[in-house]
Amino acid sequence: MAGQLKDKEAYQRLNYLYQAAHCVLSQNPENVELARFYCFTQKTIARRLVLRQDPSVKRTLCKKCCSLLIPGVTATTRQRRKNRKTRFTVVKCLLCGQSKTLLNNPDYCLWVDRPEAQLQQQKQPDRGPSVKNQPKDSDPDKSASSTPSTSTAGT
Amino acid sequence: MEEALVRATIPKDLVKVLGVESQTRSKADAFTQAFLKNSIQQHSRHDLKNMLTHKAVILSYTRPKKEKKRSSKKAKGLNARQKRAMKIFDIKPEHQKYKLFLPLHDLWRQYIIDLCSGLKPSCNPQFVQQKLLKADFHGAIITVVRSKCPSYVGTTGILVQEFKHIFKIITKEDKLKVIPKRNSVFSVEINGFVSHIYGSKFEQRASERSAKKFKVRGTIDL
């Protein structure tokens, strides 16, 4: 497919930008502006070329100000409850106050994971950005962000 | 006692279980400072001093506004004024050292080599140039080769941000420099390949470049 080749470069670029934002933040946690700029560029490219990104990537970006959400550095992660039963993970961006509410249900399966058999061909580029984002200097914040039930030390 | 516990490194058998590595002292300090700064509540009142220095404040009675409660949790984008207030590349990173940006450059190197599927001397230069047109240049070391303004020539540094009409680079003397793209030629060096970028043709946003097609139009004489 000719389209696949063209997309491959774009996906590599998105992946690089995502890694660069992590790299800048790991060097200097104060430098939020630069990381935000890279994520903003990433978002714009994805919008222009109509590329679908993995939910695991999208969940680490703030919807409002496009900054990278790392628990403890740029975001707070809390466990909340509604009517004593359903638990939620609330991720709040410290820069603009926008919060994400994610349901804590181990049985829940994402839409991306479900029709795997149908999307076998499109799966490989789709999975690229999320699987490969392991930069050399892997910072502990990132590995912590992958686990759904982390609570920051600020309690 | 507890102080020592907080600063203790994570034992090796736990590293594998948690997937968390211990950091070096300087990095850990930086992380702690950032964490503390973000977790301590900051009042909006503190901006008063800042406001008073810039503007004349008119004291008059205003009716208290009724605040409408918006129950929707949907993220609204920021308008241009808010972006201008937030997105400005503040002066603090200027103080940070050029060395801190070297990892970014190493990352960029790997990315370019990945993009061109192994840069070998047998590679077709045309093919590499084609790839570079759509590539991302954040983190590259660029040098101004030719320019209409002679004082720009010879400036070298790591590209930090790319806007529509300018490049922001950080030089080895830890200075942030702004270089317009128009009427200047930049060179990028990737192990063995040196490619020139004509800034006049590159006058578009970093994100637009991956989407738009380049048209052959005219020549550049500098």
> SS3 sequence, A11-66?
HHHHHHHHHHHHHHHHHCCCCHHHHHHHHHHHHHHHHHCCCCCCHHHHCCECCCCC
pLDDT of residue A131: 39
Distances (CA, A) of B100 to A29, B52, B154, B157, B171: 12, 36, 22, 13, 12
CA B156/CA B169 separation, integer angstroms:
8
* Residues linked to residue B193 through DSSP beta bridges, in sequence order: B190
Q: What is the mean pLDDT of residues B2-20?
A: 72
pLDDT digits (tens, 9 = 90+) for B70-97: 655 565 666 777 777 766 666 676 677 8
CA B176/CA B90 separation, integer angstroms:
11
A34 interface with B at CB cutoff 8 Å: yes
The mean pLDDT value of chain B amounts to 79
Confidence of residue A127 (pLDDT cuts 50, 70, 90): very low
Model confidence at A117: pLDDT above 60: no
Contact A74 B31 (CB under 8 A): no
Contact B30 A73 (CB under 8 A): no
Percentage of residues in chain A having pLDDT higher than 90: 5
pLDDT of residue B151: 92
Q: What is the mean pLDDT of residues B166-187?
A: 88
* Residues linked to residue B176 through DSSP beta bridges, in sequence order: B170
pLDDT of residue B107: 92
Selecting from A27, A76, A101 the residue whose C-beta is nearest the C-beta of B100 gives: A27
Structure tokens at B45: 């009142």
Q: What is the mean pLDDT of residues A19-47?
A: 87
Q: Which residues of A64-75 are buried (b: 16+ CB within 10 A; e: fewer)?
A: bbbbbbbbbbbb
- Of A29-38, B27-36, B85-94, the poorest mean pLDDT is in B85-94
Contact A97, A65 (CB under 8 A): no
Confidence of residue A145 (pLDDT cuts 50, 70, 90): very low
Best to test chain B binding among A33, A39, A101, A149 (most B CBs inside 10 Å): A33
Q: What is the mean pLDDT of residues B31-43?
A: 75
Instruction: Please name which of A71, A62, A46 lies closest in space to residue A128, comparing C-alpha atoms.
Output: A46
Selecting from B93, B106, B107 the residue whose C-beta is nearest the C-beta of A34 gives: B93
pLDDT of residue B6: 67
End-to-end CA distance of chain A: 52
Model confidence at B220: pLDDT above 60: yes
- Of A63-72, A113-122, B187-196, the poorest mean pLDDT is in A113-122
- Of B71-75, B108-112, B197-201, B211-215, the poorest mean pLDDT is in B71-75
pLDDT of residue A107: 78
**Of B48 and A118, the one with more pLDDT:** B48
Model confidence at B121: pLDDT above 80: no
Confidence of residue B14 (pLDDT cuts 50, 70, 90): confident
How many residues are there in chain B? 222
Contacts B207 to A, Cβ<8 Å: 41, 44-45, 48
Model confidence at B67: pLDDT above 50: yes
Confidence of residue B10 (pLDDT cuts 50, 70, 90): confident
Distances (CA, A) of B11 to A32, B5, B6, B21, B23: 31, 12, 13, 10, 13
Percentage of residues in chain A having pLDDT higher than 70: 67
